[in-house]
Structure 1
Amino acid sequence: MTMERHPPPPISLPNVTDLSPLLLGFLDEHFSTHQDLSLNASLLSSSLSQQCSELDAQLGNLQNDVTKRAVSWISRSFLAKSALDELNRNMQNLSLRISRHGVGSKKFQKVLNEDLPRLAKELNRIESIRSYVETALQLEALVGDLEDAALFVMACRPGNLFSKRISDWSVSMDSARKHDKLLQAIKAMNDIEQVLETVVKFHSHWHSIVRSVDNRVDKILASLRPQVFSDHRALLASLGWPPKLLTSNVGNGQITCIPNPLVLMQEEKRRSYSESFIALCALQHLQRRREDRQHNFVKQKKHNMQLWAIDELVSPIASRMEHHFANWIEQPEYIFALVYKVSKDFITGVDDVLQPLIDRARLISCSAKEAWVFAMVQVLSCFLEKRIFSLLADRYKVKLMKLDAISSWLRLIDLIVAFDKQMQSLVNLDTGIFLIESEKIDGLSRGISVLTIFCNRLDWLRLWAKIEFKNAWKKLKVELKEEKMWMIDNKSTSGFDRDLDSVHRILSTVEDHRAPPIVEVFLKIVWEMTERCQTMPSIISRARFIRSTAGKFLWCFFKILLLRFKTTELHPDDPDEDAIVRICGLVNAARYIQTKLREWGDSLEFLELKIAENESSKPIEDDAMDSSSFYSEEIRSLSEMEINWLMEIIAAILRQFELVSWEYVENKDHFEQDQDDKNIVGLTQAIDLTVSTDFVEALDALKSWLRVVRINLNSKDFSDLWRSLADGLDHYISRSFATNEICFSCKGIHQFEADMQALLFVFQPFCARPQAFFPCIKEILKLLKLKKEEVKQLQAVLSNGENRARCLRPHGISHLSVNQVAQVLRNRNFASAITRG
Structure 2
Amino acid sequence: MEGVAASLPRPSDLSPSLIGFLSGEFRTPEDLPRSPDLEAELTTRCSDLEASLANLSRRLAGSVAAYAVRSEETGALLGGVRAGLVDLRSSLRGFSKDGGDTEDGSGRREQILADELPALAKEVARVETVRSYAVDRALSVLRPQAIADHRNFLASLGWPPPLSGSNIVHPNTGASPELSNPLFLMTGNLKIKYCENFLSLCKLQELQRRRKSRQLSGHNLEIALSQPLWVVEELVNPIMVAAQHFLSKWHDKPEFIFALVYKLTMDFVDSVDEILQPLVDKAMLVGRSCREEWVSAMVTSLSTFLSKEIFPKYVHLLEGSHSSSNSSQARLSWLHLVDLMISFDKRIQTLITNSGLVLSLTDDANLQRVSSMSIFCDRPDWLQMWAEIELGETVEKLRVAMQDEKSWKTRFQGTVLMTGSEDYKSPAVSGAVLQGLSLLIDRSWPLPSIELRARFIRLAGAPIVREFLDCLLRRCQEAEGLTALADDDALLKVSQAINSARHFDSGLTEWCENVFFLEMESIGKDDTEGRCIFEEEITMFKEFRTEWIEKIATVVLRGFDSLCRDYLKNRRQWQEKAEGVSLSRTFVTALDYIQGKISKLEEALNGMDFVPMWRAVAGGVDQLVFSGVFLSSIKFNSSAVERLNGDLEVLFGVFSAWCLRPQGFFPRLAEGLKLLKMEERQLKDGVLRGNERWLRENGIKHLTIAEAEKIVKNTVVMG
What's the TM-score once normalised by structure 1's chain length? 0.66
* Selected match of 2:700 from 790, 802, 813: 813
Q: 1:233 to 1:661 in 2, by over 3 A?
A: same
Q: 1:748 to 1:609 in 2, by over 3 A?
A: same
* Selected match of 2:455 from 532, 544, 555: 544
Question: CA offset at residue 793 of structure 1?
Answer: 1.0
Q: Which residue of 2 aligns with 1:722?
A: 614
Alignment partners' CA distance in 1, 2:198 and 2:210: 18
Q: 1:445 to 1:788 in 2, by over 3 A?
A: same
Q: Which residue of 2 aligns with 1:259?
A: 177
Question: CA offset at residue 710 of structure 1?
Answer: 1.8
> Does the aligned pair in 2 maintain the 1:490–1:712 contact within 8 Å?
no
Whether 1:111 aligns to 2:100 is yes
Look up the equivalent residue of 1:381 and give its one-letter code: S
* Selected match of 2:480 from 569, 582, 586: 569
Alignment partners' CA distance in 1, 2:333 and 2:386: 12
SS at match of 1:814: coil
Look up the equivalent residue of 1:600 and give its one-letter code: W
* Selected match of 1:612 from 520, 523, 534: 523
- Aligned pairs for 1:572-611 (under 5 A) are 575-611=486-522
Look up the equivalent residue of 2:565 and give its one-letter code: W
Q: Which residue of 2 aligns with 1:411?
A: 336
Look up the equivalent residue of 1:407 and give its one-letter code: L
Question: CA offset at residue 241 of structure 1?
Answer: 3.5
* Selected match of 1:633 from 536, 543, 565: 536
SS at match of 2:494: helix
Q: 1:673 to 1:108 in 2, by over 3 A?
A: closer
Q: 1:124 to 1:578 in 2, by over 3 A?
A: farther
The structure having more radius of gyration, on CA atoms, is: 1
Structure 1 unaligned blocks of 5 or more: 1-38, 67-72, 95-106, 137-205, 493-503, 677-686, 799-803, 833-837
Alignment partners' CA distance in 2, 1:267 and 1:699: 103
Q: What is the total number of aligned residue pairs between the two structures?
A: 636
Alignment partners' CA distance in 1, 2:216 and 2:473: 54
CA deviations on 1:547-600 (whole Å, 9 max, x unpaired) are: 222223333333322222221226897711111111112222222222232333
CA deviations on 1:681-734 (whole Å, 9 max, x unpaired) are: xxxxxx6x3753322222222122212222222222122222222222222222
Q: 1:558 to 1:795 in 2, by over 3 A?
A: closer
Q: Which residue of 2 aligns with 1:746?
A: 638
Alignment partners' CA distance in 2, 1:770 and 1:813: 17
Whether 1:283 aligns to 2:204 is yes
> Does the aligned pair in 1 maintain the 2:402–2:429 contact within 8 Å?
yes
Q: Which residue of 1 aligns with 2:140?
A: 222
SS at match of 1:427: helix
SS at match of 2:381: helix
> Does the aligned pair in 2 maintain the 1:610–1:628 contact within 8 Å?
yes
Alignment partners' CA distance in 2, 1:752 and 1:735: 14
Look up the equivalent residue of 2:291 and give its one-letter code: K
Question: CA offset at residue 426 of structure 1?
Answer: 2.1
> Does the aligned pair in 1 maintain the 2:575–2:636 contact within 8 Å?
yes
SS at match of 2:712: helix
Q: Which residue of 1 aligns with 2:687?
A: 795
Alignment partners' CA distance in 2, 1:222 and 1:491: 68
Q: Identical aligned pairs, as a percentage?
A: 32
CA deviations on 1:207-264 (whole Å, 9 max, x unpaired) are: 5344322321122112321232234334444555433447789999989675244566
* Selected match of 2:568 from 655, 665, 679: 665
Q: Which residue of 2 aligns with 1:211?
A: 129
Q: 1:556 to 1:491 in 2, by over 3 A?
A: closer
Question: CA offset at residue 742 of structure 1?
Answer: 2.6
* Selected match of 1:242 from 152, 160, 165: 160
> Does the aligned pair in 1 maintain the 2:687–2:695 contact within 8 Å?
no
Structure 2 unaligned blocks of 5 or more: 1-39, 68-73
> Does the aligned pair in 2 maintain the 1:248–1:254 contact within 8 Å?
no
Q: Which residue of 1 aligns with 2:5?
A: none
- Aligned pairs for 1:238-637 (under 5 A) are 240-245=158-163, 259-260=177-178, 261=181, 262=183, 266=187, 273-291=194-212, 294=215, 297-300=219-222, 304=226, 306-398=228-320, 399-400=322-323, 401-428=326-353, 440=362, 442=364, 444-489=366-411, 509-569=420-480, 575-614=486-525, 618-620=526-528, 628-637=531-540
Q: Which residue of 1 aligns with 2:671?
A: 779
Look up the equivalent residue of 1:280 and give its one-letter code: L
Alignment partners' CA distance in 2, 1:249 and 1:285: 36
Alignment partners' CA distance in 2, 1:720 and 1:658: 20
Whether 1:232 aligns to 2:143 is no
Look up the equivalent residue of 1:761 and give its one-letter code: G
Alignment partners' CA distance in 1, 2:141 and 2:573: 110
Alignment partners' CA distance in 2, 1:571 and 1:829: 50
Alignment partners' CA distance in 2, 1:473 and 1:491: 22
Look up the equivalent residue of 2:254 and give its one-letter code: P
Q: Which residue of 2 aligns with 1:101?
A: none
> Does the aligned pair in 1 maintain the 2:688–2:709 contact within 8 Å?
no
Alignment partners' CA distance in 1, 2:275 and 2:531: 47
Alignment partners' CA distance in 2, 1:125 and 1:765: 98
> Does the aligned pair in 2 maintain the 1:253–1:334 contact within 8 Å?
no
CA deviations on 1:737-788 (whole Å, 9 max, x unpaired) are: 2212233333433332333232223333333323222222221222122112
Look up the equivalent residue of 1:660 and give its one-letter code: L
Look up the equivalent residue of 1:515 and give its one-letter code: S
Q: 1:787 to 1:285 in 2, by over 3 A?
A: farther
Q: 1:702 to 1:226 in 2, by over 3 A?
A: same
Question: CA offset at residue 358 of structure 1?
Answer: 4.1
Alignment partners' CA distance in 2, 1:120 and 1:765: 99
Alignment partners' CA distance in 2, 1:251 and 1:693: 92
> Does the aligned pair in 2 maintain the 1:530–1:550 contact within 8 Å?
yes
> Does the aligned pair in 2 maintain the 1:488–1:585 contact within 8 Å?
no
> Does the aligned pair in 1 maintain the 2:635–2:717 contact within 8 Å?
no
Alignment partners' CA distance in 1, 2:114 and 2:514: 57
Alignment partners' CA distance in 2, 1:434 and 1:467: 32
> Does the aligned pair in 2 maintain the 1:367–1:431 contact within 8 Å?
no
Question: CA offset at residue 434 of structure 1?
Answer: 9.8
> Does the aligned pair in 1 maintain the 2:367–2:448 contact within 8 Å?
no
CA deviations on 1:412-453 (whole Å, 9 max, x unpaired) are: 112112222222222229978698xxx846484244222222
> Does the aligned pair in 1 maintain the 2:591–2:654 contact within 8 Å?
yes
Q: 1:573 to 1:594 in 2, by over 3 A?
A: closer
Look up the equivalent residue of 1:569 and give its one-letter code: E
Q: Which residue of 1 aligns with 2:594?
A: 702
Root mean square deviation, CA, Å: 4.6
> Does the aligned pair in 2 maintain the 1:329–1:388 contact within 8 Å?
yes
Q: Which moved more, 1:112-121 or 1:581-590?
A: 112-121
Alignment partners' CA distance in 1, 2:624 and 2:171: 76
Question: CA offset at residue 522 of structure 1?
Answer: 2.2
> Does the aligned pair in 1 maintain the 2:675–2:711 contact within 8 Å?
yes
Question: CA offset at residue 121 of structure 1?
Answer: 12
SS at match of 2:100: helix
> Does the aligned pair in 1 maintain the 2:364–2:448 contact within 8 Å?
no
Look up the equivalent residue of 1:611 and give its one-letter code: S
Q: 1:302 to 1:571 in 2, by over 3 A?
A: farther
Look up the equivalent residue of 1:422 and give its one-letter code: R
